[in-house]
Amino acid sequence: MIFTVQVDNPKVINEALASSCNRIRFGPEFCEWKIADLKTLEATFSLTREKGKEFAYVTPHVSSKSLEKLKEQLIYLNDQGKTTVVVNDLGVLNQTEQLSNLKPYLGRQLITALGRCPWKQITEFDVDRVERGRVEKTFYQTSLNYEPTIQSFKENRIQGADVDWIPQSFPYYDFLADNGLEYSIHLHSIPVTITRRCHMARFLDVTNLEKCPRPCYTQALRLKNEIINLDLFLHGNTVFRLTEPTQNDINRLYKTKVSEFVITMSPLTKINTQKDIDALIQKLTSKPTLSFFR
């Protein structure tokens, strides 16, 4: 099992490198305005390799302007040898085609997963039990639970895919591995909806995103929905819901074909230090316990 720390803030990279993780994922998963410059990428890549850890680069959905910026970075990474690049944009995926050392990995923005939405809150209706079961089965699968979709991505050299910590979806994730795709699971934060414009910046009166002070490095905004009695969280341009891994769910995952746990450092997950990372890895690697209750 690989334990990976995902970081988009260069200022906390040393905390991640000091931890017991196997791999560092560096780069913004959702916000193109947080894409680092080439110099920062080079420094982070070198430091990660010096510490004996694997390096993967995370890229968001991007505009044409940001795509031009990424081209130079992808060429640099290709020159360094085999490197995983998490792609959340088909344009970025297209750029990797001529760069044979890059191993594209499918990001969460390129995967449709209805289960990211709160199931309980949207199904408070009288539904036939059998029909409810059919709907639930579809609800907790992803767009990759369809073999032609997987084959299409594999033709574009996709090596694997990111999925969410949604326990009801666990039974459907091994379909990816059975069809030749590795899969990595993100802990804690599940993206419910994503926007191109940064509403967090709007709420905080940040008008020039090119000079954004990055308030999302240190804070997130709680969105309390009183109608469905659910707290969501605005972090940058993405609304998340949070989930806490239970020991029972961890035990279940060890019976699947998951290849990587992804631990994100952010104010949402409240994982900010080496100590936080190592405590979570310890929880994930503790000996599975017998569970007599479901």
pLDDT at 128: 66
What confidence tens digit (pLDDT) does each residue in 141-194 have? 999 999 999 999 999 999 999 999 999 999 999 999 999 999 999 999 999 999
The residue assigned the tokens 């720390």 is 5
Q: What is the mean pLDDT of residues 277-286?
A: 93
Mean pLDDT across the chain, nearest whole number?
Answer: 91
> Does CATH place domain 2-191+243-285 in 1.20.1440.230?
no
Assigned token pair, 207: 């008008």
Q: Is there a contact between 107 and 128 (Cβ–Cβ < 8 Å)? A: no
- The pTM (predicted TM-score) of the whole model is 0.91
Q: What is the mean pLDDT of residues 261-273?
A: 96
Q: List the one residue out of 281, 210, 288, 199 whose CA is nearest residue 3.
A: 281
What confidence tens digit (pLDDT) does each residue in 213-252 have? 999 999 999 998 777 778 899 999 999 999 999 999 999 9
pLDDT at 292: 37
CA 82, 261, 240, 266 torsion-angle sign: negative
The domain ranges of the chain are 2-191+243-285
Compute and round to an integer the Cα radius of gyration of the chain: 19
Assigned token pair, 118: 């709160």
The neighbour count for residue 231, using CB atoms within 10 Å, is: 10
Rounded to whole angstroms, the Cα distance separating 93 from 113 reads 20
Rounded to whole angstroms, the Cα distance separating 70 from 59 reads 8
